[in-house]
């Protein structure tokens, strides 16, 4: 083979060399050898690609149910979390309500406590004023007695009587300024501790017939009868007093709302003379009378001036008044303190409901009050159910207390 000469290529392009046919066949052979390699590679690449696509599809098919399961699980967990949160919220709200209720209860208790303290302060102030007034009243009374004792002739006595009336009216006006409110009865429990343990007095109002007396005497416990004054319906009621060693008179006083009024009932605004005459008539009928309580009387005892006039007359007659407390606006406490009298009062009505079992419950209540306070007064009436209840109660309901007549309990009141 001849060596290549520089620039031979350029020349060859213009004129074909002699060996150009050989070179052409050589190049075609080389190209034919390269073709099988490129096709195989291409086919291999396609195969790989198909396999990758198939695997990807297979993976997607497998992952889809797992993804669904994962989503479902996640949804379930989310729902459970929501449910737990809601449950906690409900529990929290319940606790908050309980806490708020407790706080409200505490606040209410605090308010009640403050109100009670204020009420106690008011009552203490009222008591101080009452003591001061009672002292002044006693001084005025003693001064007047001393002056009247010096006077000798009748003319001077008449003048003194006029002065006495004037003094009484002035005292009444002064007393009205210091009159208690209805709530003053919360302070009325002022009595000494009784000797020999707690005592209970039971008063039976409305006694007016022999049948009542007969039933009372069948009881083994001491019950104090309170007898109606004579009138058209029971003209001989005063004679019933002879059957008892201790009795009371049940004095009719004006009620606020009561139409079946007894004869000779005292009314608010009645003159001092009329009240005095009524008490004289009662003393004439009941010569040994020492105690009186009111029949009805919610209107009369609510009027301070009328109550004061009645108690003043009873004081002059040496008769003791026991407040039946037919109204929470009773002024008997006020009037008693103004006149320097003891104040005794009813604690329990036994037979507002004429039912044996309910009356027995009220008897138990009266016994409990006596044990707590030392003394107690209960009032009842001559109903059939009341007698039945008392007969049952006298067996064992009064254990721990002494049932006494009213004269044995009055001494412990102040």
In terms of residues, how long is the chain? 414
Coil, helix or strand at residue 286:
coil
Mean pLDDT over all residues of the chain? 77
Q: Which residues contact 178 (CB under 8 A, 6 or more apart)?
A: 126, 129, 130, 133, 334, 338
Strand partners, 323: 345
DSSP-H helix ranges across 151-269:
154-177, 210-217
Q: Which long-range contacts (CB under 8 A, 24 or more apart) does 12-17 make?
A: none
56 versus 307: the higher-pLDDT residue is 307
pLDDT tens digits for range 341-374: 999 999 999 999 999 999 999 999 999 999 999 9
Integer Cα distance of 173 and 160 in angstroms: 20
For the entire predicted model, the pTM comes to: 0.58
202 versus 171: the higher-pLDDT residue is 202
pLDDT tens digits for range 104-128: 556 545 544 444 444 444 444 444 5
Residue 325: which region, alpha, beta or left (left: phi > 0; alpha: psi -120 to 50)?
Answer: left
Q: Which long-range contacts (CB under 8 A, 24 or more apart) does 34-40 make?
A: none
Q: At what angle do helices 20-150 and 154-177 cross, to 10 degrees?
A: 180
pLDDT band for position 166 (cuts 50, 70, 90): low
Integer Cα distance of 198 and 191 in angstroms: 12
pLDDT tens digits for range 367-404: 999 999 999 999 999 999 999 999 999 999 999 999 99
Rounded to 10 degrees, the C-alpha dihedral 387/388/390/394 comes to 130
Contact 402, 198 (CB under 8 A): yes
pLDDT of residue 44: 76
Residue 316 pLDDT > 80, yes or no? Answer: yes
pLDDT band for position 320 (cuts 50, 70, 90): very high
DSSP-H helix ranges across 229-318:
272-285, 304-316
Burial of 389 (0-12, 13-18, 19+ CB in 10 A): buried
The torsion angles phi and psi of 294, rounded to 5 degrees, stand at -90, 135
pLDDT of residue 22: 54
Q: Report which secondary-structure segment, H or E, holds 241.
A: none
């Amino acid at each position: 083979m001849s060596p290549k000469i520089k620039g031979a290529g350029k020349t060859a392009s213009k004129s074909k060399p002699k060996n150009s046919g050989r070179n052409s066949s050589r190049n075609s052979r080389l190209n034919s050898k390269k073709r099988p390699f490129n096709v195989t590679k291409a086919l291999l690449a396609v195969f790989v690609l198909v396999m990758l696509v198939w695997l990807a599809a297979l993976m997607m098919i497998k992952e889809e149910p797992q993804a669904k399961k994962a989503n479902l699980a996640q949804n379930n967990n989310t729902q459970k979390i929501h449910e737990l949160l809601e449950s906690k919220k409900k529990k929290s709200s319940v606790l908050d309500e309980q806490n708020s209720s407790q706080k409200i209860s505490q606040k209410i208790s605090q308010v009640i406590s403050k109100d009670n303290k204020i009420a106690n302060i008011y009552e203490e102030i009222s008591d101080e004023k009452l003591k001061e007034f009672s002292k002044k009243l006693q001084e005025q009374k003693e001064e007047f007695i001393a002056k009247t004792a010096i006077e000798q002739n009748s003319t001077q006595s008449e003048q003194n009587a006029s002065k006495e009336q004037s003094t009484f009216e002035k005292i009444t006006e002064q007393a009205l300024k210091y009159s208690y409110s209805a709530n003053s009865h919360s302070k009325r429990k002022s009595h000494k501790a009784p000797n020999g343990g707690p005592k209970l007095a039971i008063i039976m109002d409305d006694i007016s017939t022999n049948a009542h007396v007969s039933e009372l005497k069948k009881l083994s416990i001491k019950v104090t009868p309170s007898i109606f004054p004579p009138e058209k319906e029971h003209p001989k009621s005063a004679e019933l007093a002879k059957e008892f060693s201790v009795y009371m008179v049940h004095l009719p006083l004006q009620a606020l709302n009561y139409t079946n009024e007894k004869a000779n009932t005292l009314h608010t605004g009645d003159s001092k003379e009329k009240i005095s005459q009524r008490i004289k008539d009662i003393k004439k009928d009941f010569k040994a009378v020492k105690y009186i309580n009111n029949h009805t009387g919610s209107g009369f005892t609510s009027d301070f001036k009328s109550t004061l006039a009645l108690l003043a007359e009873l004081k002059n007659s040496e008769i003791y008044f026991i407040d039946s407390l037919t109204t929470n606006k009773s002024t008997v406490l006020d009037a008693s303190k103004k006149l320097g009298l003891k104040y005794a009062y009813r604690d329990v009505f036994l037979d507002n409901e004429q039912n044996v079992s309910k009356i027995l419950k009220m008897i138990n209540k009266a016994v409990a009050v006596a044990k707590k306070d030392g003394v107690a007064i209960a009032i009842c009436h001559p109903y059939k159910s009341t007698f039945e209840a008392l007969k049952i109660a006298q067996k064992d309901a009064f254990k721990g207390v002494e049932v006494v007549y009213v004269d044995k309990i009055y001494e412990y009141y102040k």
